[in-house]
Amino acid sequence: MNAKENLLRAIKRDNPKYVPNGMKNIVFVKPPTVERPIVAGFDDWGCEYGFEPDAEGGTYPLVGGNPIHDILTWREELNVPDFNKHDWTKLTQTWAELPLDVEAIDRENTLVMGLVEFGIFERIYMLFGMEEALMYFLTDPDELYELAGIIADYKIGVIKRFYEAISLDVLWYGDDWGTQTNLFIPPKIWRKVIKPHTKRIYDCIHDLGMIVNQHSCGKIEAVFGDMVEMGADMWNMCQPCNELKMLKGKYGKNICFFGGLDSQFVLNKPGVTIDEVRQEVRNRVLDLKEGGGFIAAPSHEVPYSKEVLDAIDEELEKVGKYA
């Protein structure tokens, strides 16, 4: 069993030999569509971004840079992008958009994971601005349900075109639903507006033979069961503001947990010690390892020191093996 096979066994909860290190044996691929530009300017939907080189990720949405200004005029102001205008022979790697040689990918030893950012919820608040969107979820959920359907149709088109360009094993679908303490919107409204169209996206991914890897930051326990019911095969990045051990115990037979190593209060904490890093790895493996279905990785993509990354690798080697 090579590392890719072990990774797939962990995802499918099928007797992996060890807890995979999520930072290895995966090629992350980005499509040519622009959900978030890497320099100041506009994304494909007309949302405007500024740039700050010292900020995480560099670019950020500008206040007032949203293209839709009122719930009453969204149909007139919405411009759905044409994903076919892009050159689909020019795929890139990771968030930094490094050039990718598709033919050079070692598919025998690596899993190919496509990245589709800014899911339905995120795209809605990007189009209106966060405060306005959160109000409209409460006052005009039927309007946002219709808009969510249009966004989902676009995402489904992108995913199909992406799969044509490069046969993917996994589709990483990003949509941040939670804050540190709860969902951004009430679960009832999430189920009305976001859930039905996200289910259509999951169905598209499965119909193409890919694994659904749902990314959602924040505390999303209130709808975790819905996510499992919809068919998510994986969840990342498993931030510890969620009761991860409880979720694993309740849903671990149905979904793989990817992440979980506490970035905020351990791995990236000022002055963190290597012993603290090693203890975090041991604790999380103990909580999430049982039955397979756990891929260890930091709970957020931020820079880490080499010492921290080496400690994660070494401790996983020690405690990650199954009997």
Q: Is the pLDDT of residue 235 over 90?
A: yes
Give the pLDDT score at 57.
79
> Over the stretch 118-133, which tens digit does the pLDDT of each residue have?
999 999 999 999 999 9
Q: Is the pLDDT of residue 1 over 80?
A: yes
What is the token pair recorded at 16? 């992996």
Largest CA distance in the chain: 60
Whole-angstrom CA distances from 163 to 10, 44, 181 are 23, 20, 36
The domains of the chain are located at: 3-34+67-319
Average pLDDT over residues 97-108: 92
Give the pLDDT score at 152.
99
What is the token pair recorded at 106? 């070692």
pLDDT bracket for residue 117 (50, 70, 90): very high
Q: Distance (Å, rounded) from C-alpha 222 to C-alpha 187?
A: 7
Q: Is the pLDDT of residue 95 over 80?
A: no
What pTM was estimated for this model as a whole?
0.97
Region 3-34+67-319: CATH code: 3.20.20.210
State the average pLDDT for the chain. Answer: 96
DSSP state letter for 292? S
